[in-house]
């Protein structure tokens, strides 16, 4: 079966477009994951500097903290005590 040159060009273009979209999505996901990991490390380091260590309870509070806007996260890290942080971000059992 002979395929028309127009179809072959279209097929090649669609395949190339798919590859490029996949690469772009991968890069964007990688950047987002990197930023989230960097933010997590910053919060862990801040808590360690402020409270001396990060135990299981504080560690469990970090994930919900990361969902906060930067301004709010900064404010609570600077103002809330360890106990207040744990009250605001209680451990959830799954």
Mean pLDDT by 10 residues, the chain (94 residues): 86 89 87 90 96 94 95 96 95 67
CA 73 – CA 47 distance, rounded (Å):
12
| Residues 66 and 94 sit within 8 Å (Cβ to Cβ) | no
CA 83 – CA 89 distance, rounded (Å):
10
Question: Which of 50, 52, 59, 56 is CA-nearest to residue 78?
Answer: 50
Would you list the domain boundaries of the chain?
A: 5-88
Q: What is the pLDDT of residue 63?
A: 94
CA 62 – CA 85 distance, rounded (Å):
10
């Amino acid at each position: 079966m002979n395929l028309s040159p127009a179809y072959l060009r279209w097929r090649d273009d669609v395949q190339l477009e798919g590859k490029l979209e996949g690469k772009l999505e991968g890069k964007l996901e990688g950047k987002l994951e990197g930023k989230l990991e960097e933010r997590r490390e910053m919060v862990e380091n801040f808590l360690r500097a402020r409270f001396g260590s990060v135990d299981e309870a504080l560690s469990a509070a970090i994930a919900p903290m990361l969902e906060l806007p930067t301004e709010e996260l900064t404010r609570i890290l600077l103002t809330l005590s360890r106990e207040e942080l744990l009250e605001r971000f209680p451990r959830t059992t799954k």
